[in-house]
Amino acid sequence: MLIDTTLREGAQLFGAYFSMEARERIVSGLLSIGVDEIELGWVGQEGLDELVRAIGKRRGRTALSVWSPCREADIRKAAGLEVDRINIGVPVSDLHIRNRLRIDREGLLERLARTVLAARLLGMDYVSVGLEDLSRADPDFALRVAGLAQDVGAARVRLSDSLGLLTPVKTAQTVATFKKALTIDLAVHCHDDFGMATGNAVTALAGGADFADASLLGIGERSGIAATEELAAYLTLKEESHAYKVENLRDLCHFVSQAAGVPIPRTKAIAGKDIFACESGLHAHALSKSPELFEPFDPSRIGADRMVAVGGKSGRAAVAHALARRGLELPEQRLTVLVDEVRKLAWELERPLTEVELTKLVEN
């Protein structure tokens, strides 16, 4: 199941500032996709209470949550919000415990127990504890923290690879270890510093994790985290284990791109404009016969269009098919000449030809 944290992790992206209107539109889009949980922001964030009220009963089956540091004062603030879950962050590496919190391991355990108990006493039924910087922590101590969280009433433990250091293999091993030790829900939060976030998240879910964090376009601190659109599409179209409404993903990604000031590469998985574009002669010819030969799924499933163009890499079959789509057919000799002209012009322009440019070549 997916926890979308575009409005918490994503909002921490350098230079990203979401207006209230943008935040409401992102939530509406996520609700239409059917993500399982939306992390709306962090305790103390400006406008958070207003956003929660604006969503109201529109949430349907989607759970709403907020993030909080491991402090009782912040827990009390969170209790005043009409959300379903609270995600408490607690660092488990000695580097963070010592240099950031200025306490020792025993002090951390005491603080965690006190904070989770306070949350439960304040009526929060679903408390999630995020183990931050897990990949640099002492594994035995991290397990001890997770076990304590479970013992004092947490409903979920979230494993955070805060610096994106894990590989899929290591992720699978880590999930298996914690899954064996716990009876409560298990989630992962995978950063993308080495480009493995989505792969690690998929691996974690396949290995028994109940939830995976993600954000639209994968935006977040530094290189960001696993991408919502990639996970939702994979789980729906490839694994067929979920039924997210993936036809709405691309429009929402493009809105987030504009709102956050993050351009979408034209080859970006799921969201890019050219992911179903083809110029190569062999592939273009094959697509004309059987699209599934070189496409992982029908473009229409995600609201995309197939685009086949001729250019410097096109052969006779591809050019002939392009003409056939226009109801045209040329003799072999003229077709050979046209192929040469298509390649020549494409190399001069350094791109495939447009429909108008191809038509002009044919007319000439």
Q: What is the pLDDT of residue 289?
A: 62
Q: Each residue of 48-102: pLDDT tens digit?
A: 999 999 998 788 899 999 999 999 999 999 999 989 999 999 999 999 999 999 9
pLDDT > 70? residue 284: no
CB neighbour burial string for 193-209, b if at least 16 within 10 angstroms, e if fewer: beebbbbbbbbbbebeb
Mark whether 144 and 228 lie in a shared domain.
yes
Q: Mean pLDDT across the chain, nearest whole number? A: 91
Domain boundary among 228, 260, 292: 260
CA distances from 340 to 143, 288, 315, 334 (A): 66, 21, 9, 10
Mean pLDDT value of segment 292-316: 80
Partners of residue 131 on adjacent β-strands: 90, 159
Domain boundary among 199, 233, 260: 260
Confidence of residue 157 (pLDDT cuts 50, 70, 90): very high
Q: What is the pLDDT of residue 180?
A: 97
Mean pLDDT value of segment 200-214: 98
pLDDT > 60? residue 344: yes
Q: What is the largest CA-CA distance in the chain?
A: 84
DSSP string, 208-235: T-SEEEEBGGG-SSTT-B-BHHHHHHII
DSSP string, 38-99: EEEEETT-TTHHHHHHHHGGGGTT-EEEEEEES-HHHHHHHHTS--SEEEEEEE-SHHHHHH
CA distances from 314 to 13, 281, 284, 308 (A): 41, 4, 8, 10
Q: What is the pLDDT of residue 287?
A: 58
Q: What is the pLDDT of residue 317?
A: 74
Residue 267 within a domain: no
pTM of the predicted model over 0.85: yes
Residue 300 within a domain: yes
Total number of domains in the chain:
2
Residue 104 within a domain: yes
Mark whether 249 and 306 lie in a shared domain.
no
Structural domain boundaries, residue 300:
277-363
Mark whether 212 and 300 lie in a shared domain.
no
**Considering only CA atoms, which of 288, 306, 289, 309 is closest in space to residue 297?**
306
Give Cα 320 distance to the centre of its chain.
Answer: 40
Mark whether 224 and 282 lie in a shared domain.
no
pLDDT > 60? residue 323: yes
Mark whether 255 and 296 lie in a shared domain.
no
Confidence of residue 330 (pLDDT cuts 50, 70, 90): confident
Q: What is the CATH number of the domain that holds 256?
A: 3.20.20.70
Cα(120)–Cα(328) distance, rounded to whole angstroms? Answer: 73
* 95-104, 178-187, 290-299: least confident range: 290-299
- Element (DSSP H or E) covering residue 187: strand 185-190
pLDDT > 70? residue 106: yes
Query: Are the C-beta atoms of residues 68 and 74 closer than 8 Å to each other?
Result: yes
Q: Each residue of 9-54: pLDDT tens digit?
A: 999 999 999 999 999 999 999 999 999 999 999 999 999 999 999 9
Q: What is the pLDDT of residue 66?
A: 97
Confidence of residue 328 (pLDDT cuts 50, 70, 90): confident
Residue 180 within a domain: yes
Q: What is the pLDDT of residue 24?
A: 96
Mark whether 208 and 282 lie in a shared domain.
no
* 57-71, 210-224, 243-257, 333-347: least confident range: 333-347
Mark whether 255 and 307 lie in a shared domain.
no
* 46-55, 107-116, 143-152, 354-363: least confident range: 354-363
Mark whether 136 and 219 lie in a shared domain.
yes
Cα(129)–Cα(122) distance, rounded to whole angstroms? Answer: 16
Q: What is the pLDDT of residue 102?
A: 94
Mark whether 247 and 286 lie in a shared domain.
no
pLDDT > 70? residue 136: yes
Residue 241 within a domain: yes
